[in-house]
Structure 1
Amino acid sequence: MPTLLTAAPPKAPVLLSTQNEKAFRINSIDLLRGLVMVIMALDHSRDFLHTTAWTDDPLNLQTTTPLLFFTRWITHFCAPVFVFLAGSSIYFQSGRKTKKDLSLFLLKRGLWLLFIEIVIINLAFSFDLTYNTIGLQTIWSIGISMICMAAIIWLPFKAILALGLVIILGHNGLDFYEKGHDNNYNPVYLFLHHPGMLHLGASHNILVLYPFLSWVGLMTMGYCFGRLFMRYEGAARRQMLLRLGFGVIAFFIVLRAINIYGNPEHWTQQKNVLYTIMSFIDVHKYPPSLLYMCVTIGPALLFLAAAEGAKGTLSKVITVYGRVPFFYYVLHFFLLHAVATVFFFASGHTMAETKDLPLLVPKFIIPGQGYSLAVVYAVWLSVVAFLYPLCKWFSDYKQTHRDWWLSYL
């Protein structure tokens, strides 16, 4: 940590150029971001298609199977890694923008993402033109965190680091308060730390699934990591990433083993070793606990170490998704829900059956009906493959054009 506090001025990020533009890209980070975007689509494929997606929790150790458990668990990496890397990207931009320009950009980008979450993503997820229930999920958490970062970047770096550490290490202290609470939280607290539903009259609701306090802390730490990342190059960077990654994982193992702090639910011994391990790594996402962030960010740092200088066809393909994550995110939601809709009518269902669905269930999905994990995996891979040409086209377009609006996509 002292090396972070005394870091020399950052070196410029790796520069990739084309005939018409110069764009700052860091390939290993694009590769990691692309990987989590691909994995993320697996979870959403399960949401739209799996037979128990709306009737049971895939992490419920009493009813799940190892394959179903890890199908869900592996996707835990997606949101925290993306938010963490978004924080790092903010630091990389600080070398190319004035603080005022960067702050204004973060404010506008954050507000834009809130609009996209409310209007576009909710429509893609629900296919409900009445917007009966507005869900505040991943894009909301990134947008509100960017709005907060618009103010945070004005602080001295040591204060930014201290703020991130206090939030990340300390927010689970609120678990003790919540244990003795009757769940009748005021709206401010729902937005801050505890998921919940806000009722707006008789027919409209806001579902706060991603309270923002811990996400802001994670983005803040990603910003600080960006400074550390740029301090090193080559073998020295790999060694730093390995030490930091293994250190975070070791911290997770020790703190989780103590079983007192860092996660609202404790792990317990199960019917066999595998299920006990599953209990041990089953950590709290809504909001992300300290241990949740450790078990996802630690391995992500190790991946960055391995990805330094990565080449090959597969890494190039995955990197494409990481260069246009917002574009991919919006399209994959619409496409997956469209596939589910086709399956719905192909199974003999009618439009009339969509009128009386439970409150939070997307249209054209019947709880308890669906398909096996084999179908889920097949659709997932098909959707990812289908989107590749579009993502490749848009990635190439962004690298050869400098239109202002591209920074918002």
Structure 2
Amino acid sequence: MTTGDRDYRLSSIDMLRGLVIVIMAIDHVRDFFMVAAEVDPMANPDIGAALFFTRWITHYCAPVFVFLAGTSAGLMTARRTPSAMGAFLLTRGVWLILIECSVIALAWSFAPHGVAQAGGAIVVPLGVIWVIGVSMVVLAGAQRFGQRACFVIGVAMILGHNLLDPIWPVTSGVFDVGRPLWVALHAQMAIAAGPVLIGVVYPLVPWPGVMLLGYGTALVFQESPERRDGRLIAWGTVATAAFVALRLAGIYGDPNPWRVQATALGTIIDFLNVTKYPPSLLFLLMTLGPAAVLCAVAGRAVDAVRQPLVVFGRVPFAFYVAHLYLAHALAVAFGVSLGFSARQFLTFSFFFPQGYGVGLPGVYAVWLLVIVALYPFCRWVAAVKARRRDWWLSYL
């Protein structure tokens, strides 16, 4: 069942997780290095194909990462009692939330205490790590109902949350202040608490449903490889086909309808531009469907591709934290080399000075540098986790 040292792991899961976090790094390097005029490629239907798909391919990262976090938890049920599992998920979830508000915030801003001064407020972003943490807290309680019940709850949440679209308040984005707290469950907004401005980048719903779905799907990964891969391919194909059919029909599943544009490329871009914040049903079908198929065939990859991705996939948290610090540090160094002050880069990337940045080829060059530089570190962390059983290593 496993080729790693931990018998609840499958190399296909590690490889898929490694692939998505490596892809994720492209988008974060783009945040730190892209010229300011190209901050949001998804907002422009006339954007070039290369830039659009550079952003679009990273859409696979968050849903696959959250789903596989649930799957990994599900594969651990044979090793832990429900009480022990609940305690582990609860403490790990709270730990991730605290890390998001401190260590991760500091990586994004390089400002003291993990926050950045912006417009007189101290900004703390709540991104993907926070939503994974909260989802783990939810799973800590839900796992007592069993994996099949979690699967059903997850499916219901993913299928049904877009029913909120016509009635839920529409916000103007992550800096929208003054809304009731409950609005942050399903929309981006900011929460002002004294001098602190908490930006909810990732609304909570339906992310716990994605983790519950992954937790329930762990039962499939306990079957024989042939049966497991057959189911993954079938489910992935159905999900992908459902995305295409529902998107064409435009009847349900995403609040952002597509339209025929002046060019074929523009039409394709608009068709694929589904809602990520929060992830719509179509967004999740578009990403989790192909990911399921890829997971089924991951084991067929040649070792030169598979092994490095497995290494990254076994230490995703260490990679995530390290790549943000490295990318931001490289941005500071590059900015200084262009004649800017280092202080101008001790903030979030969207506040970087005008005139700074590189084009898309430069982004990919820095991305490759980050991946190559972090591989020895990740291999070392993976080796430590493989040969030691210290309790705290499970939180890394």
TM-score for the superposition, normalised by structure 1: 0.89
Instruction: Check conservation: 2:108, 2:349, Cα contact below 8 A.
Output: no
- CA separation of 1:166/1:236 partners in 2, compared to 1, >3 Å: closer, same or farther? closer
Matched residue type, 2:98 = F
Q: 1:63 Cα shift?
A: 4.4
Structure 2 match to 1:194: 187
What pairs with 1:249-264 in structure 2 (closer than 5 Å)? 249-264=240-255
2:49 is the counterpart of 1:66: yes
Instruction: Check conservation: 1:125, 1:333, Cα contact below 8 A.
Output: yes
Deviations 1:262-308 (A, max 9, x none): 11100110112222111111111111111111100001011011113
Structure 2 match to 1:8: none
Instruction: Check conservation: 2:31, 2:39, Cα contact below 8 A.
Output: no
The percentage of counterpart residues that share the same residue type is 41
Deviations 1:285-338 (A, max 9, x none): 111111111100001011011113544122101110000000010000000000
Distance 2:342 2:300 in 1: 52
- CA separation of 1:185/1:384 partners in 2, compared to 1, >3 Å: closer, same or farther? same
Distance 1:350 1:159 in 2: 55
What pairs with 1:110-149 in structure 2 (closer than 5 Å)? 110-129=93-112, 131=115, 132-149=122-139
- CA separation of 1:181/1:380 partners in 2, compared to 1, >3 Å: closer, same or farther? closer
**Structure 1 residues without counterparts, runs of 5 or longer:** 1-12
Report the 3-state secondary structure (helix = DSSP H, G, I; strand = E; otherwise coil) of the residue aligned with 2:383: helix
Q: Equivalent of 2:373, from 364, 368, 386?
A: 386
Matched residue type, 2:34 = H
Higher alpha-carbon deviation: 322-331 or 55-64: 55-64
Structure 1 match to 2:16: 32
Matched residue type, 1:41 = A
Instruction: Check conservation: 2:147, 2:219, Cα contact below 8 A.
Output: no
Q: Equivalent of 2:2, from 8, 11, 14?
A: 14
What pairs with 1:339-378 in structure 2 (closer than 5 Å)? 339-351=330-342, 353=344, 361=349, 365-367=352-354, 369-378=356-365
Matched residue type, 2:54 = T
Structure 2 match to 1:4: none
Deviations 1:194-223 (A, max 9, x none): 11011122x320000111121001001111
Instruction: Check conservation: 1:246, 1:302, Cα contact below 8 A.
Output: yes
Structure 2 match to 1:6: none
Distance 1:86 1:28 in 2: 14
Q: 1:234 Cα shift?
A: 2.7
Structure 2 match to 1:227: 219
Instruction: Check conservation: 2:148, 2:216, Cα contact below 8 A.
Output: no
Deviations 1:33-81 (A, max 9, x none): 000010000000100000136x642113344111000000000000100
Distance 2:361 2:318 in 1: 27
**Structure 2 residues without counterparts, runs of 5 or longer:** 116-121
Matched residue type, 1:164 = G
Structure 2 match to 1:5: none
Structure 1 match to 2:118: none
Report the 3-state secondary structure (helix = DSSP H, G, I; strand = E; otherwise coil) of the residue aligned with 1:197: strand
Higher alpha-carbon deviation: 299-308 or 55-64: 55-64
Matched residue type, 2:18 = G
Instruction: Check conservation: 2:155, 2:209, Cα contact below 8 A.
Output: yes
Distance 1:110 1:180 in 2: 28
Distance 2:45 2:76 in 1: 47
Deviations 1:219-258 (A, max 9, x none): 011111111232x323222221111110000111111111
Instruction: Check conservation: 1:234, 1:308, Cα contact below 8 A.
Output: no
Matched residue type, 1:123 = L
- CA separation of 1:257/1:63 partners in 2, compared to 1, >3 Å: closer, same or farther? closer
Distance 2:157 2:209 in 1: 5
Deviations 1:360-399 (A, max 9, x none): 5467x22563101011000000100000011111111111
Matched residue type, 1:252 = F
Instruction: Check conservation: 2:246, 2:253, Cα contact below 8 A.
Output: yes
Structure 2 match to 1:105: 88
Distance 2:146 2:51 in 1: 45
Q: 1:179 Cα shift?
A: 6.5
Distance 2:345 2:209 in 1: 40
Matched residue type, 1:216 = P
Distance 1:354 1:124 in 2: 12
Name segments (4+ residues, structure 1) moved above 6 Å: 179-183
Instruction: Check conservation: 1:211, 1:287, Cα contact below 8 A.
Output: yes
What pairs with 1:66-85 in structure 2 (closer than 5 Å)? 66-85=49-68
Structure 1 match to 2:119: none
Q: 1:159 Cα shift?
A: 3.1
- CA separation of 1:223/1:200 partners in 2, compared to 1, >3 Å: closer, same or farther? same
Structure 2 match to 1:41: 25
What pairs with 1:282-297 in structure 2 (closer than 5 Å)? 282-297=273-288
Distance 1:121 1:263 in 2: 30
Distance 2:244 2:289 in 1: 11
Structure 2 match to 1:211: 203
Instruction: Check conservation: 1:260, 1:266, Cα contact below 8 A.
Output: no
Instruction: Check conservation: 1:133, 1:207, Cα contact below 8 A.
Output: yes
TM-score for the superposition, normalised by structure 2: 0.92
Instruction: Check conservation: 2:188, 2:277, Cα contact below 8 A.
Output: yes
